[in-house]
Chain A
Amino acid sequence: MKNIVIAAAIVATATIANAGPKWNGNTGNLPDQCSFIEIDDGSMTYDEGSQTWSVASPATAKVKTRNANSLSVSAGELVGNNETHNVTVNYNGSSVTKGNNSVSLTISDDTITADAQTTGTYTVTLEGSATMDDSETFFDANVDYYIEHTITCVQ
């Protein structure tokens, strides 16, 4: 009997606790959105023997999306010293995360397509390497170059 009374008291208390006044709200009709919050360049090192640039620290970008249609990355050429060179970029090791969760993505050498259709903040991390297309390329010492990456968010 005592147990029944205690159980009834617990249920009653729980009911009272849930019966308090609330602030009910709704986010309203928010628009589709793609917003780049942050972009950080990475760095790469050159190995003359294999004519390959390898990422030393990855480039990153943070993108906030709501109902995004697509999020993709494409690679450009090697630029520097007032010249451009064709390179074959491989994005292996790159990732896209939403919070602590990895996002499904397709890496096809020099392009990345990520599944970023759910609302949230996505972090794009660009790892990989780039090999000179022209095997005759011969660089000066201590010259700066970069490879451009375009991150496209379609809303």
Chain B
Amino acid sequence: MRTVIKAALLCLLPVIGNAHSQSPGFEVEHAQGSTHSKNYLVSNEYSFPITLKIEVFEKDGSEATGWFVEKDTYKMLPGSKKIVSIRFDAGTTRKLIVCSTLKGIGYEEKTPPVVSRVCSRLIINGYGG
């Protein structure tokens, strides 16, 4: 069942044939409960392995709290894609920036001097208003 859901998600989400990307972009969602889950597709189209870290910021750029991801760091082979499922506290309306940040290059996870960070804006209209 899980595989079917993943396959369906991969079909729904746009396939982007570039180096480091993340989708979807800006979205506005309505929470149906006190927490809200959202999936992001991150991809590595570089010709080498990379390590991406998932980060969430408030609209003003400060680090956000009230979010949970099972794994915040993903080692990705060239050409691979991963679905990242993030759960947000959604009691009130939130304006967030969800980012995947390049933290390592190659199998040895060498720190990249130039770091790419792709972010998606997300507004969650809170369950409690």
Contacts and interface: CB of A to CB of B under 8 A. Distances in A.
**A and B held together in a complex:** yes
Contacts of B118: 34-36, 153, 155
A82 to B, nearest CB: 12
**Max count, chain B CB within 10 A of own CB: residue among A39, A67, A151:** A39
Interface string A84-127: 00000000000000000000000000000000000000000010
B34 to A, nearest CB: 27
A155 B114 contact: no
- The size bracket of the interface on B is 20 to 34
A35 B117 CA distance: 9
A125 B22 CA distance: 23
Given A40-B114, A61-B116, A35 B16 contact: yes
A133 interface: no
Identify whether the interface residues of B are mostly helix, strand, loop, or mixed: strand
Interface in B99-129: 99, 101-102, 111-121
Interface of A: 30-42, 59, 61, 63-64, 67, 69, 79, 126, 146-155
21 contacts: A31-B23, A31-B25, A33-B23, A34-B21, A34-B25, A35-B16, A35-B18, A36-B102, A37-B18, A39-B19, A39-B112, A41-B114, A67-B26, A69-B26, A69-B121, A148-B111, A148-B114, A150-B101, A152-B99, A152-B119, A153-B118
